[in-house]
Amino acid sequence: MVADAFSHVSAWVFDLDNTLYPPEARLFDQIEVRMTAWVSETLGVTEPEADRLRSHYWAKYGTTLAGLMEEHGVDPAPYLTHVHEIDLSHLEQDMDLRAHITDLPGRRIVYTNGSEPYARRVLEARGLGGLFDAVYGVEHAGFRPKPEQVAFETVFAKDGLDATVAAMFEDDARNLAAPHAMGMRTVHVAPEAAPADHIHHHTADLTDFLSGLARTLPPKRRPA
């Protein structure tokens, strides 16, 4: 049974974007527009070229920011503030998801390639505010992005997390390779499966997946 594969897990790590809210919310449509505008203005290039660079850096480095830092030496702070100033009013609260995450035994964490302030805004909009023991953004990894293993190692060291008793939920399949190598249980949360040796489980519905776990996992063993 699937639950048996999680019986050892005492730390639950969730990506944010397109994981703790559905892809249909399309927050990245807004973010990508702001990324392109920022790159165009900062680098002095046309918007089509800025859009090309945005996509190219994401594919090559894991995030557009990582490429901008590596190849142009940009200051990450103004970039992160600008690109995440988006409208969240259409996000719907998900009390079922909140209940199932609450039922998970152990420590609950969010780790995103976005910023912590942005993550906390999204969590509040989804009705998940105050639910997690910690929220980590790319700034906590020294601005190194997932999928780099050093980014995971940096964040997990700050948290004191033991990867061998943890699970990672993530919409970007490539971001599960390092967690798998570190001994984590990996769950790909996406509309379509992406079969790979580093992916243990796939779900198109995180709420449904967690509801199945909550019914079969042992009682909470959160620290006193």
CA-based nearest residue to 31, from 64, 3, 61: 64
pLDDT tens, position by position, 195-220: 999 999 999 999 999 998 877 776 65
Token pair 């390092």 in the structure block, residue: 178
Rounded Cα gap, residues 153 and 141, in angstroms: 8
pLDDT tens, position by position, 100-142: 999 999 999 999 999 999 999 999 999 999 999 999 999 999 9
What confidence score (pLDDT) does residue 196 get? 96
Rounded Cα gap, residues 218 and 106, in angstroms: 11
What confidence score (pLDDT) does residue 223 get? 39
Rounded Cα gap, residues 134 and 80, in angstroms: 19
